[in-house]
Each structure stands twice: as structure tokens, then as C-alpha cells.
């Protein structure tokens, strides 16, 4: 199997990206193309014993500066690591692309290089999200701010295809995110999407969930528009930081508590580990003619490793072909309703 | 000053509602009408020394059962505590109404009894929200799922009026909630609202904030549609519970950590206290011809006390008249733009 990594992406490139790729290549014996500034990548690679590993460097010198609008820069600088890396996949040299960092740039480059899959209304950005039972996948989390009900119905089917190998479940429970748990809840978008889903779905569709149920793990796939989804992800992160910071402040303000906190440190770390979602660090950009995973811009060595692992899993599970098939079935079956639906 | 409390509202009525009212009446020497089942309320009152306190009971026997759709029940049962209590305010016997619990019922009863303020597009539900710097107010958090940009602009002005006395700040910073911090971010609703606000506002308007900035306390008033706002509030609650539960599980799983947790308990409690937002427990339903505060259905004695305190503060600050005035100014000033705007 052959993967491509944007070695220059994210806040800690190329140190952490290269380190993660070395770890992954060693454990899985897959090829990982490292795309970016050749000299910088080579310098990093020399820190490790890479004998027996296949880590070819592909030079892509056009760095996207911090002061540039990333989506614009990707369009203008054709030799940037994202576009060059994705082309390796498009031309059959590799099976999937793992990007790190700026979502806007990934979206632009992905659409430019791979184009949308036939029949897919819009590509959807998904992430795995921890809950009290384990994980669910949530999408769209930021690719599309203003959505149509029809798109959400398609995404439900696409996310279900992806959730199967990712969460290792046969028939994922699929729901829309709403402001209440009763059927019929939601804004007009979600209400109409519910009606369309009831008419035609090939899913284990369970209706709507509100955040409480979502965080209790009552659905495996939670579908929402990209504006709401993005805010939900960001708000969760912000609330988590706020709570942990508040706890830390209160613990440090009391001598006895400080001692307690020191004793409790391993438990704290374990909890933060569970919350940090490291093993499910990478999201997926679904609906393009190429497999694209998206790791967080703050990803370090271990998260890069797991992002590559997710990429490999998705390739192995043939998620792209299965999505294509699902969309074709859906389009075929739904055709008599389509006019009415849209 | 005279307040009205729905003594039968919420999960712990009438025990906790009456207890909170007694505490409040004792501290502030205000009249609190207790509306609900006379016998039940009297029984609770007898538990306390209420000499010198003015706590008149107003009999409203039509309880809203757990199995009824609350908004429907409020309409059908005219002698329910919410409608009877609000009428006391409408008819000038009291200055403000404090409801506990079901938001749908409060919305229905509020609109039925008070009607919308002249010129107000839609009433808005607001809540104070803790952040790392203190508090901000957020609205709409659930009264309106599908909104127009024009409504959000009005709410921004209404929420600013209310934030002033509540947060004790002269010129609150007002922002829209978006999926990014750059101006122009947002879905179509938020983008258009930004354009309208730039054309005409009488506020300390700072543009858009994303969740991270919101939780860092960079705005005092955060305006959003009721679908997004409701999900943000619920997601925050769900994430907080998830984190605290995860921490607890990990602490209990290790003997040394258990000891640590015991030592750290006061700090934990202080943190949860800060997060639980007790002193700012009550939201406001703004835009009606009557002051209505909304306490959480899970409110106990102390939260009821603080909800009544908020109600009293809002009456004292004459928030209703000031809102009326602000809306009139806004309507007057905006009139040349109105056709274009809507």
C-alpha cells in the first residue's frame, strides 16, 4: 500500500510529520511519500534509522506562507505539497493522501485535483468524535456552510460507508443532529431532511438526536450542516479547554489540592488521553475521486501516525469504491423522487 | 417590588421553588407571589418562619402533567400557574414573572398573555454563559429555529440592553457567533446580518466570534439563531458532563488517584461551582410586553433564589422600558433601509 503525506502541513512540520511517517512506515511496512521541501525533509529523515523503510521524498517547494489566504495560495502555487501530493494519488502512484492542517486549503486542493465524485452534490468533511460509549462520526463539520436537505441525505449514506470500517460496526445507526430528540425537531433544513430520509434510505436510520444523546453514544453517524457541525466541534474543544483550565486553577489555588492533583496526575492524563481522541485524530473529506484524510493542524508525531493509520484503513476497506457504489444505488433508487425532493 | 414565581414549575417543585422564594423574600424584602396548588404551597411554606415576609399564594390548580405536550396544555388549561402568574404581571399586580422549567410552555404562555412588543420581529430567549473571564449573554438559544438576518440585528440591540445591568458593564461588546473569527465568516444568515449591522447599529459591535473567542470572553453579547444557539448550549452541557464523568472514572480506577481526588475535592467543587453558573441561573425571554425570566427545570433552592434575584435586577434596571425605547430608536433610524434589508 502506498500513502502520501503532506510533510509541510500543520504547526509542527516537518519535524513531527516526518517522525510520525517513520513510525508508521516501520509498523506497517507501507510506502509513505513525503511531499514538501526536499532538504528540510531529508534533514529530518536523517535523525532516524530508516533502513528497510520506503519513504520517498517528492520535492514540492512552493510553501504556503502564514500570511497568505491558504485557499488562494493553493490555487496560485501549483507546486505546493498539497496539490503535488494529491496528483501522485490521481495519477495512480499512490492510494490515498493524508493532509495536515488548513482545512480551507485541503478543500480547495482536493476539489481542484480530484473533482467531485459523479452524482455527489457536495463533498463532506467528517471527524470521529469521542462519546461516553466510544466514538461516533460527525459531518459535515465545515466544508459547506449553507446546505440543502438533499445533501444531508446523501452525506448520511456516505458517512455510513465510512463509519463501518472506522468504528468496526456492521450497520451503523445514523441520525441527524437537532435541538431536541423528538421526531420533527430541528430547523427547516433538518425537518425536510427527515422527510426525505423517511421516504428513501438504505440505512439503519434512527431519526434525530440532540447533543446529550450524541455524547451518550446513541448514534454512530451524526449528520448536520457544515455551519452547525463546525461550531459544535469548536465549541466542544473550547468547553473542554475551559473546564480543564478552571479545574487546574482551582487545584493550584489550594495547597492540599495541589498534593491531591499530584497524586491524581496519572488519572488526569488518562482522562485527557481519552478525550483528546488521538487514535481517531484524522477526519475524512468524502465525495471526491480520491481518498483524502485531514489531520488536525496541531498534530504531533503520534497523531500523524494515527492519521496515516486511518488513511491506510480506509484504503484497505475500499471506502472510495463503496461510496461510489452507494451513491449510484441511491441515485438510481431515488430517481423517481428526485424532482419532488429538490 | 413584586415578583411572581411559578411555584409548580421544574423538577423539584414545590419544595425547592418555595424554599428559594422564602430565602429571596427574606434577603430582599420583596413580595413574591407563589402561584400553583394552594394546599401544596401552604404545606411547604409552613416549614419556614415566614413572619414579616410577603409571600401571597395564588391558587392555580390546572397542573400540566408530565404526559402532556406542554405548549398545548398551557393553551388548553387556562388556570395553569404560568398563565395565571403572567396575568398578575399584565394586570399590574406585579412587576415581573419568574418561570421554572419547560421552555416551550413559557414561550407559549408568554406570547399568549403578554404579546410581542410593538416593532419586535420575534421574542428571543437568552442565557448568561460562563467563560474564562466571567460571563457573556447568548441568544437566541431556542425560541426561533429558522431566523431572518433582520431578527438577529434586533436581538443584538435587545440583548445589549439586558447585558448592561446583568453583567454590570456600560457598553457591552456585541458579536455574532460564526464558524471563524474573520469578518465575512458564517452561513448566509450570519453574513447578511453582518452587512445589516455594519449599515446601522447603535452598539459596540465587534463583528463575529468563533467558539474559542466566545469562551475566552471576547464578547459580552453573542447573537445567533435559535437552532445553533440551542445546540451550542446543549453541546456545552453534554461535553462538560462527559469530561467530568471521564475524569471521575479514571480517578476511581486508581487507588493513589482516589486518595488524590479526595484531597482535591474542595477544588473540584469550586470548579464545578464556577462552571455550574448558579448565580446566573436564569435566562430571559425578551421582546414581550412583560418581564419573563426562565430558570432551568433542574433548579434547586439556591438557583431559584438567584433566578428571582435576576428578575428583581431586571425590574430595577427597567430593562423592559429600555428595550422598548431601543427598538423604537432602531425602527426609526433604520426605516430608510428596511425595504432593502428585508
- What CATH number corresponds to the domain at position B306? 3.40.718.10
Establish if B269 belongs to a structural domain.
yes
Q: What are phi and psi of A124, to 5 degrees?
A: -130, 140
The answer to whether residue A167 neighbours chain B at the CB level (below 8 Å) is no
Nearest to A151 by CA among A205, A97, A189, A100: A189
The answer on pLDDT for A335 being more than 70 is no
Query: Chain A contact for B257, CB < 8 A?
Result: yes
pLDDT digits (tens, 9 = 90+) for A168-225: 999 999 999 999 888 778 999 999 999 999 987 889 999 999 999 999 999 999 999 9
Closest in B226, B232, B265 to A231, CB measured: B232
B139 in any annotated domain: yes
Find all residues with CB under 8 Å of B190, minimum gap 6, and list them.
Answer: A227, B149, B152, B176, B177, B178, B208, B224
Helix (H) or strand (E) holding A266, with range, is helix A255-276
A260 touches chain B (CB under 8 A): yes
pLDDT at B66: 59
How far A291 CA lies from chain B's nearest CA (Å)?
Answer: 25
Instruction: Please give the pLDDT value at position B333.
Output: 61
The alpha carbon of residue A267 is apart from the nearest alpha carbon of chain B, in Å, by: 5
Instruction: Look at residue B200 and tell me whether its pLDDT is greater than 50.
Output: yes
Facing A259 at nearest CB: one of B179, B188, B263: B263
The predicted pLDDT at position A265 comes to 81
Does B51 touch chain A if contact means CB atoms closer than 8 Å? no
Residue B22: cis peptide before it, omega within 30 degrees of 0? no
Show the 3-state SS of chain B. Answer: CEEEEECCCCCCCCHHHHHHHHHHHHHHCCEEEEEECHHHHHHHHCCCCCCCCCCCEEECCCCCCCCCCHHHHHHHCCCCHHHHHHHHHHCCCCCEEEEECCHHHHHHHHHHHHCECCCCCCCEEEEEEEECCEEEEEECCCCCCCCCHHHHHHHHHHHHHHHHHHHCCCCCEEEEECCCCCCCCCCHHHHHHHHHHHHCCCCEEEEEECHHHHHCCCCCEEECCHHHHHHHHHHHHHHHHHHHHHHHHHHHCCHHHHHHHHHCHHHHHHHHHHHHCHHHCCEEEECECCCEEEECCCCCHHHHHHHHHHHHHHHHCCHHHHHHHHHHHHHHHHHHHHHHHC
**Look-up of cell digits 495560495:** A73
Residue B65, pLDDT score: 65
Which among B240, B310, B311 is positioned nearest to B273, based on CA atoms?
A: B240
Query: If you average pLDDT over every residue of chain B, what do you get?
Result: 90
Residue of B211, B267, B274 lying closest to A231 (CB–CB): B211
- Range of lowest pLDDT (A125-129, B259-263, B281-285): B259-263
Residue B274 pLDDT more than 80?
A: no
B interface test, pick of A214, A232, A245 with most B CB neighbours within 10 Å: A232
B58 vs A297 pLDDT, higher one: B58
Q: Give the pLDDT confidence score for residue A110 in this predicted structure.
A: 95
* Contact criterion met (CB below 8 Å) for B165 and B317: yes
Within 8 A of A263 by CB-CB distance, chain B residues are 256-257, 259-260, 263
Q: How many CB pairs under 8 A join A and B?
A: 189
> Span B307-314, mean pLDDT?
95
Is the confidence at residue B199, as pLDDT, over 60?
yes
Answering whether pTM is above 0.95, one says no
Domain holding A53, by residue range, is 1-120+287-318
Most confident of A123-132, B26-35, B57-66: B26-35
First-to-last C-alpha distance (Å) of chain B: 40
CB contact under 8 A, B271 and A265: no
**Is the Cβ of A254 closer than 8 Å to some Cβ of chain B?**
yes
β partners of residue A36: A59
Highest mean pLDDT out of A327-336, B182-191, B256-265: B182-191
Angle between helices B226-252 and A226-252 (to 10 degrees): 40
**A308 has a pLDDT exceeding 60:** yes
Closest to B126 (Cα-Cα) out of B108, B111, B107, B148: B107
What H or E segment, with its residue span, contains residue A241?
A: helix A226-252
Do B172 and B115 lie in one domain? The reply is no
Shared-domain flag, residues B5 and B86: yes
**Residue at B8 is within a domain:** yes
Same domain, B214 and B292: no
Q: Which residues of B touch A133 (CB under 8 A)?
A: none
Q: Could you give the CA distance from residue A325 to residue A48 in angstroms, rounded to a whole number?
A: 42
Do residues A127 and A139 touch, judged by C-beta distance below 8 A?
A: yes
DSSP label at residue A116: B
- Indicate if the pLDDT at residue B187 is higher than 70: yes
φ, ψ at A176 (rounded to 5°): -95, 150
Q: Do A146 and B188 touch (CB under 8 A)?
A: yes
Question: A250, B267: Cβ pair inside 8 Å?
Answer: yes
CB atoms B228 and A230 under 8 Å: no
- Give the pLDDT score at A65: 65
* A238 close contact with B: CB closer than 8 A: yes
Tens-place pLDDT, residues A231-256: 999 999 999 889 888 888 888 888 88
Per-residue pLDDT for B339 more than 50?
A: no
Q: How far off is chain B from A212, nearest CA to CA, in Å? A: 5
Measure in Å the smallest separation between the Cα of B155 and chain A Cα atoms: 19
Q: Which are the contacts of B122, defined by CB distance < 8 A and separation ≥ 6?
A: B116, B143, B144, B147, B151, B287
Q: Which residues of B touch A250 (CB under 8 A)?
A: 267-268, 270-271, 274
Claim to verify: residue B241 and residue B186 sit in the same structural domain: yes
Q: Is residue B272 part of a domain?
A: yes
Residue A328 lies in a domain: no
Q: Which of B250, B258, B265 to mutate to test the interface with A (most CBs of A within 10 A)?
A: B250
The answer to whether the beta carbons of residues B64 and B51 sit under 8 Å apart is no
Question: Taking residues A143-154, what's their average pLDDT?
Answer: 95
Contact residues, chain A, for B210 at CB < 8 Å: 231, 234
- Whether residue A186 lies inside any domain: the answer is yes
Q: Establish if B182 touches chain A: CB-CB under 8 angstroms.
A: no
Task: Using CB atoms within 10 Å of the CB of residue A137, give its burial: 0 to 12 exposed, 13 to 18 middle, 19+ buried.
Answer: buried
Q: Are strands B31-36 and B2-6 parallel, antiparallel or unpaired?
A: parallel
- Looking at the fold, whether B149 and B237 belong to one and the same domain comes out as yes
Position A268 scores a pLDDT of: 80
State how far the alpha carbon of A253 is from the alpha carbons of A6, A250, B113, B134, in Å: 43, 5, 49, 18
Could you tell me if residue A29 is inside a domain? yes
Q: At A95, is the secondary structure helix, strand, or coil?
A: coil
**CA A189, A194, A195: angle at the middle one, nearest 5?**
100
Helix, strand, coil share (%) of chain A residues, nearest 5: 50, 15, 30
Q: Is B179 on the interface with A (CB under 8 A)?
A: yes
Q: What percent of chain A has pLDDT over 90?
A: 68
Question: In chain B, which residues have their Cβ closer than 8 Å to the Cβ of A225?
Answer: 187
Q: Does B249 touch chain A (CB under 8 A)?
A: yes
Least CB–CB distance from A243: residue in B177, B270, B275: B275
**Mean pLDDT to the nearest integer, B139-145:** 94
Average pLDDT over residues B101-121: 91
What DSSP state is assigned to residue A268?
Answer: H
Whether A238 sits inside 8 A of B188 (CB atoms) is no
3-state secondary structure at position A321 = helix
Q: How far apart are CA A324 and CA A288, in angstroms?
A: 10
Residue B243 within a domain: yes
- Which residues lie closer than 8 Å to A303 by C-beta, 6 or more apart? A20, A278, A281, A295, A296
A263 — contact with chain B (CB < 8 Å)? Answer: yes
On the CB side of A83, CA atoms within 13 Å amount to 20
**Partner-chain contact A239 B241, CB within 8 Å:** no
Q: Mean pLDDT, to the nearest integer, of B8-25?
A: 95
Rounded mean pLDDT of B264-284? 80
pLDDT, one tens digit per residue, over B212-227 is 999 999 999 999 999 9
Cβ-based neighbour number of residue A32 at 10 Å: 27
Residue A188 and residue A218 in one domain: yes
Subunit contact B239:A242, Cβ cutoff 8 A: no
Considering CB atoms only, which of A131, A142, A261 is closest to B264? A261
Q: Is the pLDDT of residue A342 over 90?
A: no
Put simply, whether B238 touches A (Cβ < 8 Å) is: yes
pLDDT tens-digit series, residues B149-179 = 999 999 999 999 999 998 999 999 999 999 9
- Residue A130 sits in the same domain as residue A263: yes
* CB within 8 Å of chain A, chain B residues 105-134: 130-132
Taking the alpha carbons at both ends of chain A, their separation in whole angstroms is 40
Phi (first) and psi of residue B64, to 5 degrees? -95, 115
pLDDT given for residue B340 in this prediction: 43
Task: Say whether A23 sits in a helix, a strand or coil.
Answer: helix
By CA distance, what is B141's nearest residue in A?
Answer: A179
Q: Is the pLDDT of residue B62 over 60?
A: yes
Judgement on whether residues A158 and A192 belong to the same structural domain of the protein: yes
ipTM: 0.90
* Lookup: cell for A321: 469504491
Q: Are residues B146 and B266 in the same domain?
A: yes
B134 and B76 within one domain:
no
B43 or A326, higher pLDDT: B43
Q: Compute the nearest-CA separation of B22 from chain A (Å).
A: 32
DSSP bridge pairs for A223? A139, A176
Judge whether residue A115 has pLDDT over 90: yes
Q: Of A72 and A160, which is predicted with more confidence?
A: A160
Which DSSP category does A225 fall into?
Answer: -
Shared domain for B134 and B168, answered yes or no, is: yes
A268 to B247: CB separation less than 8 angstroms, yes or no: yes
Q: CB distance A254–B266 less than 8 Å?
A: yes
Asked if A243 lies within 8 A of B243 by C-beta distance, the reply is yes
DSSP 8-state secondary structure symbol assigned to residue A297: T
Whether residues B224 and B268 fall in one domain: yes
| Total number of domains in chain B | 2
- Split at pLDDT 50, 70, 90, the class of B70 is confident
A243 touches chain B (CB under 8 A): yes
Q: Of B276, B301, B327, which residue constitutes the final position of a domain?
A: B276
Amino acid at each position: 500500500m502506498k500513502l502520501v503525506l503532506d510533510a509541510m502541513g500543520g504547526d509542527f512540520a516537518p519535524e513531527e510529520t516526518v517522525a510520525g511517517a517513520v513510525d508508521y512506515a516501520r509498523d506497517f511496512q507501507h510506502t509513505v511519500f513525503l511531499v514538501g521541501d526536499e532538504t528540510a525533509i531529508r534533514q529530518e529523515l536523517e535523525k532516524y534509522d530508516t533502513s528497510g523503510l520506503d519513504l520517498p521524498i517528492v520535492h514540492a517547494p512552493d510553501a504556503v506562507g502564514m500570511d497568505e489566504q491558504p485557499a488562494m495560495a493553493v490555487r496560485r502555487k501549483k507546486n505546493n505539497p498539497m496539490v503535488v501530493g494529491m496528483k501522485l494519488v490521481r495519477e495512480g502512484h499512490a492510494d490515498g493522501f493524508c493532509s495536515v492542517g488548513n482545512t480551507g486549503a485541503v478543500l480547495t486542493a482536493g476539489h481542484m485535483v480530484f473533482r467531485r465524485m459523479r452524482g455527489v452534490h457536495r463533498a463532506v468533511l467528517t471527524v470521529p468524535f469521542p462519546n461516553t460509549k466510544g466514538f461516533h462520526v460527525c459531518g459535515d463539520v465545515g466544508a459547506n456552510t449553507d446546505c440543502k436537505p438533499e445533501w444531508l441525505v446523501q452525506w448520511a449514506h456516505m458517512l455510513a460507508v465510512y463509519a463501518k470500517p472506522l468504528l468496526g460496526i456492521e450497520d451503523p445507526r445514523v441520525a441527524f443532529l437537532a435541538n431536541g430528540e423528538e421526531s420533527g425537531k430541528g430547523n427547516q433544513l433538518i425537518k425536510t431532511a427527515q422527510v426525505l430520509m423517511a421516504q428513501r434510505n438504505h440505512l439503519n436510520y434512527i431519526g434525530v438526536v440532540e447533543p446529550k444523546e450524541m455524547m451518550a453514544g446513541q448514534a454512530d453517524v451524526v449528520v448536520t450542516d457544515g455551519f452547525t457541525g463546525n461550531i459544535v466541534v469548536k465549541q466542544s474543544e473550547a468547553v473542554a479547554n475551559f473546564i480543564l483550565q478552571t479545574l487546574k486553577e482551582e487545584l493550584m489555588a489550594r495547597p492540599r489540592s495541589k498534593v491531591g492533583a499530584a497524586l491524581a496526575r496519572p488519572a488526569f492524563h488518562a482522562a485527557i488521553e481519552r478525550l483528546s481522541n488521538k487514535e481517531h485524530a484524522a477526519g475524512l473529506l468524502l465525495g471526491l475521486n480520491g481518498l483524502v484524510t485531514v489531520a488536525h493542524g496541531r498534530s504531533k508525531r503520534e497523531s500523524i501516525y494515527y492519521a496515516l493509520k486511518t488513511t491506510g484503513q480506509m484504503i484497505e476497506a475500499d471506502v472510495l469504491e463503496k461510496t461510489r457504489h452507494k451513491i449510484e444505488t441511491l441515485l438510481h433508487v431515488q430517481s423517481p423522487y428526485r424532482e419532488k425532493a429538490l
